[in-house]
Structure 1
Amino acid sequence: MGKGLFVPQRVFVQKEALDYEKGKRLVEELRSQGIPLSVYKRRLPAVSFSNPRARFLALKRVLAVGVWAGREFQSCKPSAHYQLPLISGCPGLCEYCYLNTNLGGRPYVRVYVNTEEILARARDYAIKRRPEVTIFEGSATSDPIAVEGWTGSLAEAITFFAQLEEARFRFVTKYTDVNGLLELDHRGKTEIRFSLNAGRVISKFEKGVPSLAQRLVAVRNVARSGYPLGILIAPIFLFTGWQAEYQHLLRTLRDHLADTGVDA
């Protein structure tokens, strides 16, 4: 498995997901790792916890494997036209993350196995908006790189959008398991963005995610592979010496991009 891969402590699989090859493969791979796995029909089984904090932390280590059954994509303004519903949730424990409230009642990571159906729906949306370009966001409620080593869904999406006219794909991540994306024929139609912050902020507020040094290596590798690259530095924390530390971050980022062809 790649560096930065989320390893769940427990897995729940929707029975319908076993009708898909990806669902069968995921079950086989997860079981081979000795991870406890249960199959459910409609709703995730209820699990009792001693207190809300214990519940939140335990569910953060749960992977739910299911089938996306929505009829319409949600909008994603202003950054994109639509959310691409491949994954929801994130195993990271960043204290300021909006997912702590948006998904507070169900903080587990959920992956969908009917990727081909989801991408076919994306094609329909793109065709309807032609000749305008339609942008799809892959990380509105998730960090998809965290589970890419299990699902391969981003690789499928990148390859799909490379061949779809008047469409673009984008996602943001704090994770670093990008090796499976570096050799893809992306044709410049997928933008990969990395969320960075000052080292002090990461060590204090961003738990369960790769370090700044690890992320910068992933940034460099993605840039060398010719992907359109984005950098997100937020939120900005004001602390003693904050300006110097953020300046150091920017200089370090520039150094990592020096030989990639990216103008930094």
Structure 2
Amino acid sequence: MKLFIPDIAYIDPRILKYEVGKNAVEYLENLNVPIIKSRKVIIEGKSPAHNYAKAKKAIYITVNSQKKLRPCKPSADYQFSLSSSCPGHCEYCYLQTTQGEKPFMKVFVNIDDILNVLQNHIDNNWPNITTFESGSITDPVALEHLTGNLKKCIEFFAKSEKGRLRVITKYNNVDSFLDIKHNNHTKFRFSINTKHVISKFEHATSSFDERLEAAKKIANAGYPIGFIIAPIMIYDNWKKDYRELLDKLKSQLNNYNDKITFELIQHRFTATAKELILTRFPNTELDLDEEKRILKWGPYGKFKHVYPKEQSTEMKELITDLINNNFKNAKIEYFT
């Protein structure tokens, strides 16, 4: 798919002392993107839905001053940010409830500072291996063309004895990573789903076929790989569609013999998320019927509406069987 280009870019004046910041501004200027020097992003739409749409086309280039990283279980030991928010408009996204009415993208350019923070966490956990998740609040691949920071991270971890990187993406612009000597220290995981789910609910993301082709490229480049199948949904013909998904993935990775991991996440929503989704996507076809779900207490102090046990068990058993039948080198890390 085409690279994301914002409608407007706000830049924190502090970024101009960083090479990455100056390069990002030059890149946007060459594309005639309007640039405003300010430490405040102003988005004034006609409605909450309009604010959301405008924010998804705005970026704020700034610095990341975070020194202490948050834990990120079960994915990794810690999460860190090269950016926040992303260009995608996934109707079900859990970030709907954490990034406010105007989820514009922040892009951080002080990469050396960020890598120093990672190194401090690695040192404090020595001699254990420390793993870091780069995609908890963003999609770093979607915004990589603006900074090149993910490539720098992969190169950093390639030389790290005790640090490991995990990347998650729904985008296919992976060519800049293919010639890196990564030393198997970065693991790429692709978020995949059926064609139905992607086309209905994952707007402005790479297509089903684009993601599988990108996964094949990354696998052929020798990276450890994995897949997050999420959110798994029950709808008409869902079993057939998930069977097609795993069959197609098998054909793409037919010659890949290293371990492939899978993370399985059923569709869930909170009451707050439902309210926001219906405001932003009033014509959504997401199944948000609370009467068809049960409540599950979440790790962040909120109840989630998940599928009843009988349905979630059927879902888990079906996807597990499809994975195990298609991939002799598969490991399912969790189902939730």
TM-score by length of 1: 0.95
Match of 2:245 in 1: 249
The size of the alignment, in residue pairs, is 260
Distance 1:76 1:236 in 2: 21
Deviation at 1:260, TM superposition (A): 3.5
Give the number of the structure whose alpha-carbon radius of gyration is greater: 2
How far off its partner does 1:82 sit?
A: 1.2
Shift of 1:165: 1.3
CA distance in 1: counterparts of 2:100 and 2:43, whole angstroms: 16
2:85 counterpart letter in structure 1: G
User: Residue 147 of structure 1 corresponds to which residue in structure 2?
Assistant: 143
Residue by residue over 1:20-77, the C-alpha shift from the partner in whole angstroms, topping out at 9 and shown as x without a partner, is: 111111111101101111111x3x2323211000000100011110011223222212
Matched, 1:239 2:223: no
Give, in whole Å, the separation in 1 of the partners of 2:160 and 2:177.
18
Of residues 74, 79, 82, the one that matches 2:75 is: 79
Q: Where do residues 90-239 of structure 1 align in structure 2 (5 Å cutoff)? A: 90-239=86-235
Please tell me whether the aligned partners of residues 77 and 131 of structure 2 are also in contact (alpha carbons under 8 angstroms).
Answer: yes
Q: Distance in 2 between matches of 1:191 and 1:200?
A: 27
Moved more, 101-110 or 248-257: 101-110
Per-residue deviation at 1:84? Answer: 1.8
Amino acid paired to 1:103 = Q
Shift of the alpha carbon at 1:78? Answer: 2.2
State the AA in 1 paired with 2:87.
Answer: P
1:18 counterpart residue number: 16
Secondary structure in structure 2 of the residue aligned to 1:16: helix
Identity fraction in percent: 37
**Which ranges of structure 1 fall in alignment gaps of 5 or more residues?**
none
Structure 1's consecutive aligned runs of 4 or more residues displaced over 2 angstroms after TM superposition are 259-264
State the Cα distance separating 1:246 from its structure 2 match: 0.4
Instruction: Render the CA deviation track for 1:134-156: whole Å, top value 9, x for unaligned.
Output: 00110010001111111111100
Question: What is the letter of the counterpart of residue 17 of structure 2?
Answer: D
The Cα shift of 1:4 comes to 4.2
Query: Does structure 2 retain, via aligned residues, the 8 Å contact 1:5–1:148?
Result: no
The answer to whether the 8 Å contact 2:51/2:102 transfers is no
Inter-partner Cα distance in structure 1 for 2:222 and 2:153: 17
Tell me, yes or no, if the aligned pair for 1:6 and 1:147 is still in contact at 8 Å. yes
Secondary structure of the structure 2 residue equivalent to 1:146: coil
The alignment's C-alpha RMSD in Å is 1.2
Give the whole-Å Cα distance in 1 for the aligned partners of 2:43 and 2:90: 24
The one of the two structures with greater contact order (alpha-carbon pairs below 8 A, sep at least 6) is: 1
Distance apart, 1:241 and its partner CA = 1.3
Asked if the contact 1:8/1:62 (under 8 Å) is kept, the reply is yes
Q: Compared with structure 1, are the counterparts of its residues 186 and 4 closer, same or farther at alpha carbon in structure 2 (3 Å cutoff)?
A: farther
Show the counterpart of 1:258.
254
